[in-house]
Amino acid sequence: MISRIFRAFVLAAFALPLVVTAARAHPHVYVTMKSEIVYDGEGRMTGIRHHWTFDDMFSSYATQGLESKQKGVFTREELQPLAEVNVTSMKEYDFFTQGTMNGQKVEFETPTDYFLEMNDQLLTLHFTLPLKKPVSTKNVDLEVYDPLYFVAFEFAEKEPITLKGAPAQCKLNTVKLGDATQSRSLSEALFARPDPNAQWGAQFANKIAVKC
């Protein structure tokens, strides 16, 4: 059951054949994101904590058939199997999180502390992407996006990105190049011949920069 429920997300976001039609190439899932860049007591970056809220249509579909003690209301425990499928399935795609640190590619470990919760009929996935090892860094540049743009990410309106435990001199900057509203009006020609190397989604990447 869990695999069937998550299939829509997998097909839309990850595993669609390259010969997809233009009509199916627009985003199928919309995610509002908030994230925390986490530092340890020595001022070293240790990872990034994501909070991704899915749109109402996906939230409704994903929970169809899930058992719950109260109809339409799901506890964290009841949603945990689905959270595990989310996290496991995104591994192949680097969790839609790319970046560089001091000029080198950021390498993340397996996610920890992951769970799903539902508020106001919307699912939110929480998970931490820990670095392979804590790093003292002067410059961090991160981007969150789906290269083929089947999933559209956009920053939350208020405090989409925060620094947790960062040295006082660290400054945060965010750049929003696109949003879900713009994505709905994209020309069909853009997706007429999807190319996995074209990185269409990079045009709508949410950019995060930290300088210390």
The residue extents of the domains of the chain are: 2-16+25-211
**Bridge pairing between strands 112-119 and 122-135:** antiparallel
Per-residue pLDDT, 26: 61
pLDDT band of 192, cuts 50, 70, 90: very low
**Bridge pairing between strands 151-155 and 29-39:** parallel
Express each pLDDT in 2-46 by its tens digit: 343 444 454 444 333 333 333 344 678 899 999 999 999 999 999
CA–CA separation, 121 and 203 (whole Å): 30
pLDDT band of 130, cuts 50, 70, 90: very high
